[in-house]
Structure 1
Amino acid sequence: MRTWTSLVMVVMLHLELTPSDPASVHDGTEANFGAIGVDVGGLVKDPLTGEMVPEAPGAVPTDPNEYKYELQCHLGGGDFDTPCLGRQLECKDGPDGEEGIPVTWLSRPRGVPGAVWAHHSGPTCLFDARPEDLLPRIAADIQREFQSLPVNAGTVVAQPSPHTLRGAETNFYADAAEQQFDVTMFGQQVHIVATPVQYTWNYGDGTVFGPQPSMGGPLPQDRWGEKTRTSHAYGATGDFQVMLTTTFQGTYSVNAGPPLPIPGQGQFSAPPQTISVWRSLTRNYADDCNANSQGQGCPGTAR
């Protein structure tokens, strides 16, 4: 449990961060500090300079909500809930050994007149006295971080496999799943969720299908050879390397805050799957093996 002295220090720290006017951060982005909390404004990357800048007026946001945080136990103005302070979250031993601030995250629908702020998540610890300086930096680098993650693109499954027939439909499908990662960026804990959204098939014979949203699916053995959304019929025999590229969409949250969309997408390739295409021969025989056991095509006779 915190002592009263440490509680006063937390309150004083919050008051130091709440001037009545918006505080401009180093990249020109404004984070609005008021009596209730801190608004986290939308950011976009300038294609000419690569810097993070506020969203242009009229821009269509990728997240339907907007977010802000406030101190845990804050009642508004300079008032705090005294019983709540007695069980306030301990925020010690941050990424760089510093103490943090206990906060809760609020959200409301973006652009809805009269929308009220509602609890989104928390309480959680914010381990930076001026997180508005770090959020734009994280937003600027999150796409590169996303691309460098060891995301598993999934595996390629073929029916039938490892051999199939020339001219027959071979059913391919992907075995891919959502994945989660925890990384540290600028001393902040960042949680990333990668979700597969599109798939591109390279069947190894010059045919490419996608990107498209279907990962395909298995067929029962008695239906092998049917045409499916992701099946392919080879026109020649031989061994072919089937390659799958999976496109992932990501979200990230900073210090257990609200999930925010990662701009752009990440593409990851699965290990290639070898498929051997054989040819089939069809012959018709007129002999009745019951009447002539040595007839062409009968068991035990040369073909």
Structure 2
Amino acid sequence: MQPDDCRPEDPLTCAGDPTAPADEPVAPVVVTLRDIASFRPSAPENGMEPGGWAIEGLPANFVAGASVQVMSGTLLGQSADVRFTPVGFRWTHSDGGVVESVGPGATWATLGQREFSPTATSHVYASAGEYTVDLSVVVRAEYRFAGSPWRSIAGTLSLAGAPQRVLVGEFDTVLTQGDCLANPSGPGC
């Protein structure tokens, strides 16, 4: 039996089996990840610097574009909002490397670092070649009805970003003094 103070704006007081005896306690509404399947957050962006290439033996910096998203729709027959909050980031590199972070990473400029400096989300490729990087972002979900307080949903979801292609090349610096043909024993010749 539903309580006498059942209001559409507070569905938790309306929960329960309508065929249950009046003296039986009302069961709370339990929203699961399956219930919010129609609420689809955007895929995260899978970025890196330098853009699409790296140098063998030097860090390439990876940055995810993911933030809190609030989606509106219908949940359990009522208007509702579902909020998705990123709580974990994982970059899986095709050379076998895996980088995990609680944050999305940041550009070298934002961090106040020089290019090719190590960061919490950087990765060093040992060999030249072509690689791919897959990004997955773990999000937790919460819901609310008609502006009520946010309520947590048990479990997390994993959102996949588009794979990032990385071309890794060798880089050699050579210091010379003049023309090596004219001075073959000079530095760098």
Structure number having the greater helix percentage: 1
Partner of residue 188, structure 1 = 78
Distance, in Å, in 1 between the alignment partners of 2:75 and 2:14 is 12
- The structure-2 alpha-carbon separation of the partners of 1:282 and 1:217, relative to structure 1 and needing over 3 Å to count, comes to same
User: Structure 1 residue 183: deviation in Å?
Assistant: 2.2
User: Structure 1 residue 136: deviation in Å?
Assistant: 6.0
- The structure-2 alpha-carbon separation of the partners of 1:147 and 1:278, relative to structure 1 and needing over 3 Å to count, comes to farther
Quick one: percent identity of the two aligned structures? 22
- The structure-2 alpha-carbon separation of the partners of 1:203 and 1:159, relative to structure 1 and needing over 3 Å to count, comes to same
In the alignment, which of 25, 35, 50 is matched to residue 145 of structure 1? Answer: 35
Partner of residue 20, structure 2 = none
C-alpha RMSD of matched pairs (Å): 3.1
User: Structure 1 residue 295: deviation in Å?
Assistant: 5.6
Alignment of 1:147-296 (within 5 A): 149-210=39-100, 212-220=101-109, 223-285=114-176, 287-288=177-178
Partner of residue 22, structure 2 = none
User: Structure 1 residue 283: deviation in Å?
Assistant: 3.1
Contact 1:173 1:216 in 2 (8 A): yes
- The structure-2 alpha-carbon separation of the partners of 1:185 and 1:147, relative to structure 1 and needing over 3 Å to count, comes to closer
Q: Which amino acid aligns with 2:170?
A: R
Query: Which structure's CA Rg is the greater one?
Result: 1
Distance, in Å, in 2 between the alignment partners of 1:217 and 1:278 is 23
- The structure-2 alpha-carbon separation of the partners of 1:282 and 1:143, relative to structure 1 and needing over 3 Å to count, comes to same
Query: Could you say what secondary structure the match of 2:107 adopts?
Result: coil
Contact 2:85 2:140 in 1 (8 A): yes
How high is the TM-score relative to the length of structure 1?
Answer: 0.50
Distance, in Å, in 1 between the alignment partners of 2:114 and 2:47 is 16
- The structure-2 alpha-carbon separation of the partners of 1:262 and 1:17, relative to structure 1 and needing over 3 Å to count, comes to closer
Distance, in Å, in 2 between the alignment partners of 1:250 and 1:143 is 8
Distance, in Å, in 2 between the alignment partners of 1:234 and 1:131 is 57
Query: Could you say what secondary structure the match of 1:126 adopts?
Result: coil
Distance, in Å, in 1 between the alignment partners of 2:27 and 2:42 is 28
How many residues are treated as equivalent by the alignment?
A: 173
Contact 1:183 1:191 in 2 (8 A): yes
- The structure-2 alpha-carbon separation of the partners of 1:198 and 1:222, relative to structure 1 and needing over 3 Å to count, comes to closer
In the alignment, which of 108, 113, 131 is matched to residue 14 of structure 2? Answer: 131
Q: Which amino acid aligns with 2:82?
A: I
Distance, in Å, in 2 between the alignment partners of 1:17 and 1:294 is 98
Structure 1 unmatched runs, 5+: 1-15, 19-36, 39-100, 102-124, 297-302
- The structure-2 alpha-carbon separation of the partners of 1:153 and 1:136, relative to structure 1 and needing over 3 Å to count, comes to farther
Query: Could you say what secondary structure the match of 1:145 adopts?
Result: helix
